[in-house]
Amino acid sequence: MRKRIVIKGLVQGVGFRPFVYRLANELSLSGWVGNTMQGVEIEVEGSPENLDSFLKRLKNAAPPSARLDQIKVTNTEPQQDRTFTILPSDADGAPSALILPDLATCPECREEIFDPSNRRFRYPFTNCTNCGPRFSIIEKLPYDRSHTTMKAFQMCPACLREYRNPQDRRFHAQPNACPECGPQLELWDRQGRILASQDDALRISEDFLRRGKIVAMKGLGGFLMLVDGRRRESVQRLRQLKHRDEKPFAVMAPDLQYLREICLVDEREESLLRSPAAPIVLLRRRKSSYSIVTNEVAPDNPYLGVMLPYTPLHHLLMADLGFIVVATSGNRSNEPICTDEQEALKVLGELRMSFWFTIVRLRDTWMIRLPM
């Protein structure tokens, strides 16, 4: 028998096609799977028993971030194909597919960036099928590398092997990259001269934070303004720059263990902090926290809005620093967050910060800029 399956929902950018590919091969089924402008389409052929098992597991064992809103199954004529393949995406029709938001770094990628023996050691743009940028890099549907800003980066042989290997967790991971072929960090002055690159650029930026300077960093979704959350004068300076007299600032903690020293964290709150969405969670402060986090972060407020690192760049930054930082939106008060590096240079530059830099995602590179 052969069945045609049309699925709508969150099924692009979540590792759904690799999941379908592995499932079909496990059940000795032939056919194909492909992205469309509306979702995902599958044709699968085999014994009735294996097809029934395929449909059940398709619904019950899909990737954690997937959401199957609508499944339409029809019978079709057998084609006698011998293998199961992932087809090139179909760009016909009106776009209606849902695209997943960016996903926080998964445990496997986090382990890699701190492993000196791994080829992605301290690479700040590490990702896989289970995590990394989605919405922030897509230009159009369907969700393929050629339709994202990552199309400017040609995968090296090692990354390409991962991308083509059905058993690898980077199988069809569209933002897949490594230090050899992916985005890089650079430290620039205002004239665009390169002052430092790669890990040296990050190390220098961390030194600015230790010295109480304000840092503007571009990550997924736009700019964040960072400052040492322990320093009263530095946080006051940020309030003056943003014209934000009393409204609490969000903070980023290095890890959950550090966070437990300054806030009460129950099981539900921990689950939220560790989730792929990596939201800001409102937590009650411990009394002892006032000796660690300055009251200027959230004046006379018994709660803190807290997040954990959610990209490899943030994980590296916070692990190196080892202390809490204010992490507030990179914009002027009551204006949208800056998402473009030229806009940030103009808008945030007008705030007259004494020292700051930005990590910038362009079509062909990531950069750190430091106005002098």
The model's pTM: 0.85
Q: What are phi and psi of 132, to 5 degrees?
A: 105, -170
d(CA 247, CA 234): 16
User: What does the pLDDT read at residue 190?
Assistant: 54
Residues whose CB is less than 8 angstroms from the CB of residue 334 and which lie 6 or more positions away in sequence, other chains included: none
Check residue 248 and report its DSSP letter: P
The pLDDT tens digits of the residues spanning 45-56 come to 999 999 999 999
User: What does the pLDDT read at residue 150?
Assistant: 93
Q: What residues of the chain score a pLDDT lower than 70? A: 95-97, 187-193, 342, 349-372
The pLDDT tens digits of the residues spanning 134-184 come to 888 988 888 889 999 999 999 999 999 999 998 899 988 999 999 999 998
User: What does the pLDDT read at residue 356?
Assistant: 41
- E strand or H helix at 162, and its extent? helix 157-164
d(CA 235, CA 326): 8
Domains, the chain, with CATH or none? 2-86 (3.30.70.100), 101-183 (3.90.870.30), 199-369 (3.90.870.10)
User: What does the pLDDT read at residue 362?
Assistant: 37
d(CA 304, CA 251): 8
User: Hey, what are 113's tokens?
Assistant: 């960036």
d(CA 303, CA 103): 26
User: What does the pLDDT read at residue 364?
Assistant: 37
- Cβ-contact 188, 194 below 8 angstroms: yes
Residue from 16, 14, 39, 26 nearest 86 by CA: 16
Instruction: Provide the CB-side half-sphere exposure for 24 (13 A, CA).
Output: 26
Check residue 152 and report its DSSP letter: G
Instruction: Provide the CB-side half-sphere exposure for 112 (13 A, CA).
Output: 20
